Amino acid sequence: MTYNHRVILRTISVIMLFEGCAMLIPLVCAVYYQEWGAASAFFFTAICCICFGMTVFKHLRYYTLKIKTREGFFVAFICWFLVCLVGTMPFALSECGYSYIDCIFESVSGWTTTGAWVINIDTMPRSLVLWKAISNWLGGMGLLLLTISFFPILGVQGQKMAAAEVPGPDLEKMSARISDTAKLSYKIYIAMTVLELCLLLPSGLTPFEAAINTMSTISTAGLYNLNNDVVINFTPYVKAVFTFFSIAGSVNFMMYFFISVGKWKRVVKNVELRTYLGLLTGGSVIMAIVLTASGTYHSFFSALGDSFVQAVAFGSTSGFEIADINVWPTACKIILLVLLLIGGCGNSTSGSIKVIRFIVYFKLIIRGIYKRIHPHAIRPIMIQNKPVSAESASSITVFLMLFFSIYIFSSLVLSVENQDMETTLAAALGAITNNGTGFGNIAGGNFGIFSAFGKLFSAILMLAGRLELYAIILLFSRSFWNSDRARS
């Protein structure tokens, strides 16, 4: 396969430049807290990234960039792989004694907004905690989308790179140019981040805690509780803010665009949003009833509050825990797993299958049953009074088959770690959905129970889940590398 090496190097240079500049913030934090090992690690890595980025970008700035579809997937993979690899260096060079596998895991978990951990944040320098939160925030919206928003010279070709990165079956455009869409998406993202930070600052949290949790919740990466490993002990107000913005981050960003232009009816009537909120509400009520009936909670309203927060945490794939869900009844755990499998909305910061795919697949099943009774009937799949094309329906079906195939294979691989079945199945699902937590021994997102092999494999699953599987799976396809067969 022949590649346009210039477009790959150009994109990598911009990504490295962004990452290097982002490291300057935790560098200042490290100096402030006198964490000199971490400070030197950030300084060295940031300088290398910035110098490389500026040099390559300046050398290739006058070249016209053209990219094909298969190159878009390849660029997405290379950029995410490198940014995670470079993001490992502050952990590895900070003189904290972390193993390199642990550093890779923390970096991948941060950039993919998975929220899992193998290094306890209570023992981690604050600058490294801030760096992980920043990587959550940048990874939530997407690296290539950020690049496209700052460099419109990528033009229409940027659509092919963004489509390989943005979570969801299709990349809807808010405007005619993908660069304008990317800019508008980041403006909305930044506005919500600032709003959440303003709401958290007077809540009793320190500015540092408010900042890191703002970046992690809006990107649906979870929570950072510096005083507890598993159960989050924040005030009801703080939990309410976290829950609201976890929902906000997992909603299709097109809804905010419609709100900004006054098209409220399109938001209210949006079938994906209504289904998503209905699933969270219905799941919460059922869990509250089960928790009250089983005696786990004595108050229905207390059970309903915790149930809703946990439903949001799993449905949005934020993955945080405000209660010991390991002791919850099995029925509640199954509901949480269902919400986790469905995930949030398309074109949001959440992971997993996505609600819109679930809706189309459910309607395909209903049509299949109907066609059994009326084999000659013509009954298209309708979403928002518009027919879903056969190509889109087929693509969604293939994605679901691929998702569950990889999940089964991943569970088999992680089973060699010899953990109990609940832990093994939850770990594979938590990694591939970018939720980062589950039941059993990984409650709270602690993947430190696994060996170096298990941690590395889980990191690969996180990256595959963040790139919606295809960008990595295609690398194992012979036709992908055969330039004679590839036409686009």
Per-residue confidence band for 29, with pLDDT thresholds at 50, 70 and 90? very high
pLDDT at residue 78 tops 90: no
Q: How many CB atoms are closer than 10 A to CB 386?
A: 9
User: Where is mean pLDDT largest: 150-154, 186-190, 379-383, 411-415?
Assistant: 411-415
Give the CA distances from residue 276 to residues 11, 248, 306, 366, in Å, rounded to whole numbers and listed in that order: 35, 12, 18, 19
* pLDDT at residue 395 in the model: 85
Amino acid at 206: T
Query: pTM value?
Result: 0.90
- pLDDT tens-digit series, residues 351-374: 889 999 999 999 999 999 988 888
H helix and E strand count, the chain? 22, 2
Q: What is the DSSP letter of 203?
A: G
Report pLDDT digits (tens) over 320-344: 888 889 899 999 999 999 999 999 9
Nearest to 78 by CA among 463, 476, 448: 463
Report the pLDDT value the prediction gives residue 207, as an integer from 0 to 100. 92
pLDDT at residue 299 in the model? 92
Cα 405–chain centre separation? 20
Segment 293-323, tens digit of pLDDT: 999 999 999 999 999 999 999 999 998 888 8
